[in-house]
């Protein structure tokens, strides 16, 4: 493996690890907002407990996902300075907007939501979590704007050896963006719904005392996974026409097939059929069927896998171009990089991101295992925590 292939592999692995955090964030945020809305409207304690429990899982994933995103930013400057030189004025703009507007706002509103329990008026507190959701989706929009520019550099012309933006509207209406954004958001809902379903099935299988709680969560998860599967698969196929026009050979190249396009389609279709024709029609009785709950736990990781395979297919399919038809991957790589330098940074990044991913899912697994009684998010105060000392041991 030469230095170019090694640098490409490094970015693919770190990008995929980061996307695992992103897709779960996009899926859980609206679900937590819906739970909080139900609590605010009805005042039922079960909805508050659901908001706090699933909200704590969201916060864990969000907090650790931030660090993985920072690694991606470093890699653009360290490994791909040719991209910054040739198209940084265009490619960097949506990334800057995502960071300065969407991400910072999302973090601010999330902080207000986390520390606003029993302090903010209930409707203002509710507004905070919906603003978290909206800004998370806005963040995804600007990231997809930047990525779609790489797929199809719409609205740009070359002047003096660099790309210059001539039509900002074309950047926002890029045909490789219009169908891809709902596809990614649908994948997030599919993943979020699957996590709710799998975690709830785990507790129901153990004959938990929280049966009402996890029965409701499982049903919400199945319905969400159904909606997410429809959006994901529908907009996935809807992309084929637009992408085939700008990248004619993308869906026919045998290296591409080897990266997982066919596997993604197969996994996605089988899961969607399973959700549509098995889970959804039986959603009322499903919490009572103990034999089905191990199956629900086993299929929980599959939407994550399909999401990663889809992302790899989108990226690898335009090779050897980094900016399709304008800048090759080889020309985008930073000059002077050696195999040893990339190997060292690769090991460092993989070590950090792998550790963060392991910590993330271990913390989520422990939170799920302990159940809603151990949730510390939105605790009433020191007295409430004193009654539940085990809740502090995350």
Q: What are 338-355's pLDDT values in tens digits?
A: 889 889 988 988 888 888
Q: What is the pLDDT of residue 254?
A: 57
Distance from C-alpha of 158 to C-alpha of 169, rounded to nearest angstrom: 18
Q: Model confidence at 262, in pLDDT bands (50, 70, 90)?
A: low
Reported pTM: 0.90
Which residue in the block uniquely carries the two structure tokens 């902080």? 111
Greatest mean pLDDT among 182-186, 229-233, 333-337 lies in 182-186
- Other Cβ atoms within 10 Å of 290 Cβ, number: 12
Indicate if the alpha-carbon torsion angle 241, 247, 251, 252 is positive or negative: positive
Indicate if the alpha-carbon torsion angle 337, 92, 20, 357 is positive or negative: positive
Distance from C-alpha of 280 to C-alpha of 301, rounded to nearest angstrom: 19
N residues, the chain: 394
pLDDT digits (tens, 9 = 90+) for 95-136: 888 888 777 899 999 999 999 999 999 999 999 999 999 999
Residues 5 and 294: beta-carbon distance below 8 Å: no
**Lowest-confidence segment of 71-80, 187-196, 276-285 by average pLDDT:** 71-80
pLDDT digits (tens, 9 = 90+) for 1-18: 789 999 999 888 888 888
Which residue in the block uniquely carries the two structure tokens 């779609």? 148
User: 382 versus 63: which is more confidently predicted?
Assistant: 63
Q: Model confidence at 183, in pLDDT bands (50, 70, 90)?
A: very high
Distance from C-alpha of 149 to C-alpha of 156, rounded to nearest angstrom: 9
C-alpha distances in angstroms, 307 versus 24, 189, 191, 235? 10, 11, 9, 13
Looking at the predicted structure, is the pLDDT value of residue 150 above 80?
yes
DSSP H helices, the chain, are 3-42, 45-79, 81-97, 104-115, 122-151, 168-172, 175-178, 180-205, 211-246, 254-259, 261-274, 293-298, 302-316, 329-332, 339-370, 382-387
Q: What is the pLDDT of residue 113?
A: 96
Residues 6 or more apart from 279 whose CB is under 8 A from it?
Answer: 197, 222, 225, 226, 286
Q: What is the pLDDT of residue 381?
A: 46
Q: Model confidence at 261, in pLDDT bands (50, 70, 90)?
A: low
* Pairing mode of beta strands 327-328, 156-159: unpaired
Q: What is the pLDDT of residue 392?
A: 38
C-alpha distances in angstroms, 234 versus 26, 180, 186, 189, 197? 18, 11, 9, 14, 22
What is the DSSP-derived secondary structure letter of residue 333? S
Q: Which residue from 109, 191, 190, 97 is spatially nearest to 144, judged by alpha carbons?
A: 97
Q: What is the pLDDT of residue 383?
A: 35
Residues 6 or more apart from 104 whose CB is under 8 A from it?
Answer: none
Phi/psi at 223 (5° precision): -65, -40
Token couple for 16: 């995929």
Distance from C-alpha of 317 to C-alpha of 259, rounded to nearest angstrom: 9
Distance from C-alpha of 379 to C-alpha of 381, rounded to nearest angstrom: 6
Q: What is the pLDDT of residue 260?
A: 60
Token couple for 350: 């993989």
Q: Which residue from 308, 265, 365, 306 is spatially nearest to 19, judged by alpha carbons?
A: 308
Element (H, E) at 300: none
């Amino acid at each position: 493996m030469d230095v170019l292939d090694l640098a490409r592999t490094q970015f693919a692995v770190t990008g995929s690890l980061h996307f695992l955090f992103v897709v779960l964030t996009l899926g859980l945020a609206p679900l937590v907002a819906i739970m909080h809305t139900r609590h605010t409207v009805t005042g039922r304690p079960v909805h508050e407990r659901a908001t706090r429990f699933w909200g704590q899982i969201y916060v864990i994933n969000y907090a650790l996902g931030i660090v993985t995103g920072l690694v991606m930013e470093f890699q653009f400057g360290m490994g791909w300075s040719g991209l910054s030189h040739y198209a940084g004025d265009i490619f960097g703009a949506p990334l800057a907007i995502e960071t300065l507007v969407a991400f910072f706002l999302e973090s601010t509103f999330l902080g207000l939501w986390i520390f606003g329990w029993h302090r903010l008026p209930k409707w203002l507190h509710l507004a905070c979590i919906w603003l978290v959701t909206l800004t998370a989706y806005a963040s995804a929009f600007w990231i997809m704007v930047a990525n779609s520019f790489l797929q199809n550099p719409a609205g740009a012309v070359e002047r003096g050896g660099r790309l210059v933006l001539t039509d900002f509207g074309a950047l926002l209406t890029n045909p490789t963006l219009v169908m891809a954004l709902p596809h990614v958001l649908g994948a997030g809902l599919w993943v979020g719904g699957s996590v709710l379903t799998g975690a709830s099935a785990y507790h129901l299988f153990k004959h938990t005392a929280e049966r009402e709680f996890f029965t409701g969560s499982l049903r919400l998860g199945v319905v969400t996974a159904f909606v997410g599967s429809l959006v994901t698969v529908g907009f996935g196929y809807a992309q084929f026409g637009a992408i085939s026009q700008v990248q004619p050979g993308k869906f026919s190249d045998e290296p591409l097939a080897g990266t997982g396009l066919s596997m993604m389609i197969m996994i996605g279709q089988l899961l969607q059929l399973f959700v549509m024709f098995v889970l959804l029609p039986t959603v009322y009785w499903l919490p009572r069927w103990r034999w089905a709950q191990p199956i629900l736990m086993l299929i929980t990781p599959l939407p994550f896998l399909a999401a990663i395979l889809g992302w790899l297919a989108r990226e690898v399919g335009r090779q050897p171009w980094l900016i399709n038809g304008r800048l090759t991957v080889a020309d985008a790589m930073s000059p002077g990089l050696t195999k040893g330098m990339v190997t060292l940074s690769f090991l460092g990044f993989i070590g950090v991101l792998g550790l963060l991913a392991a910590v993330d899912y271990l913390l989520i697994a422990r939170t799920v295992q302990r159940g809603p009684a151990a949730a510390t998010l939105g605790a009433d105060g020191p007295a409430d925590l004193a009654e539940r000392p085990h809740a502090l041991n995350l």
